Chains A and B, each alone.
Chain A
Amino acid sequence: TQLLEQSPQFLSIQEGENLTVYCNSSSVFSSLQWYRQEPGEGPVLLVTVVTGGEVKKLKRLTFQFGDARKDSSLHITAAQPGDTGLYLCAGNNAGKSTFGDGTTLTVKP
Chain B
Amino acid sequence: DQQVKQNSPSLSVQEGRISILNCDYTNSMFDYFLWYKKYPAEGPTFLISISSIKDKNEDGRFTVFLNKSAKHLSLHIVPSQPGDSAVYFCAPLSGTYKYIFGTGTRLKVLA
Whether chains A and B associate is no
- Interface, chain A (partner B; CB < 8 A): none
- Interface, chain B (partner A; CB < 8 A): none
